């Protein structure tokens, strides 16, 4: 089940998402709120909003930040998801190093996927064998991928490890990705999609069209929310 929140602009959608995220943080009885962030271009508006207007409002001290996925490049590379968030947001909202858990895109991918899996499994409460993020923030690619779970790499949807290596089929670039089952076990899952060109794929995903990784995930989530201006 996905609740759809459609807005007239990406900024409005970012405000709506932030309001719901704040409610989740405020309702959580635990001291720490474990939030996994996606990269790509879409969330820039969101991270800019947090840096500009929510610096004093979001209880940053309670947040533990993780990455949903990372491109296998060093942090200073323009395609680094960590680098992007650092430039837009972390350089302005100062969090302690103990709160920011980046994926080392510069390291050997298979070893880094193992290291990050161990780190997450160690820091998060588990439901059965799955670590439970308080919130996973996801984007959707125009090809229907989410996290870095691409069509044709379906074993990652049910992989036993929390993080694994995937390959962007367009570019051949390796990525480290949160796999399907920990997404399905997260306490909250929020999708943020703000590209008008993604309207068609978004409709397929909302229908739960299994052939797209994002549709596979959406059709199996007990509850999720979508914030968009694309519909």
* Least gap, CB of 108 to ligand 6PG (angstroms): 19
Binding residue (CB under 6 A) for ligand 6PG from 3, 19, 41, 223: 41
Burial (CB < 10 A; 0-12, 13-18, 19+), residue 74, is middle
Q: By CB under 6 A, what part of segment 151-190 binds ligand 6PG?
A: none
The interface mask with ligand 6PG, positions 80-109, x = CB under 6 A, is: -x----------------------------
18 contacts ligand 6PG (rule: CB under 6 A): no
Task: At 127, give phi and psi (nearest 5°).
Answer: -115, 110
Binding residue (CB under 6 A) for ligand 6PG from 21, 49, 58, 68: 68
196 contacts ligand 6PG (rule: CB under 6 A): no
Q: How many CB atoms lie within 10 A of CB 149?
A: 29
207 contacts ligand 6PG (rule: CB under 6 A): no
Binding residue (CB under 6 A) for ligand 6PG from 139, 144, 180, 215: 139
* Least gap, CB of 220 to ligand 6PG (angstroms): 17
């Amino acid at each position: 089940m996905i609740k759809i929140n459609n807005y007239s602009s990406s900024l409005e959608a970012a405000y709506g998402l932030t309001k719901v995220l704040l409610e989740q943080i405020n309702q959580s009885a635990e001291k720490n709120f474990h939030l996994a962030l996606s990269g790509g271009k879409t969330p820039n508006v969101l991270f800019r909003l947090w840096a500009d207007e929510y610096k004093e409002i979001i209880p940053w001290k309670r947040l533990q930040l993780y990455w949903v996925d990372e491109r296998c490049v060093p942090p200073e590379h323009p395609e680094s998801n960590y680098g992007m968030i650092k430039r837009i947001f972390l350089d302005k909202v100062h969090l302690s190093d103990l709160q920011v858990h980046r994926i080392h895109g510069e390291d050997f991918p298979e070893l880094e996927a193992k290291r990050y899996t161990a780190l997450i499994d160690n820091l998060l409460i588990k439901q059965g064998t799955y670590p439970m993020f308080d919130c996973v923030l996801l984007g959707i690619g125009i090809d229907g991928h989410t996290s870095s779970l691409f069509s044709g790499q379906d074993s990652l949807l049910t992989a036993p490890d929390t993080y694994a290596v995937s390959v962007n089929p367009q570019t051949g670039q390796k990525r480290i990705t949160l796999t399907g089952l920990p997404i399905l076990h997260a306490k909250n899952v929020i999708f943020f999609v703000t590209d008008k060109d993604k309207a068609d794929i978004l409709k397929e995903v909302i229908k739960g069209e299994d052939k797209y990784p994002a549709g596979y995930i959406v059709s199996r989530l007990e509850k999720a929310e979508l914030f968009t201006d694309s519909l």
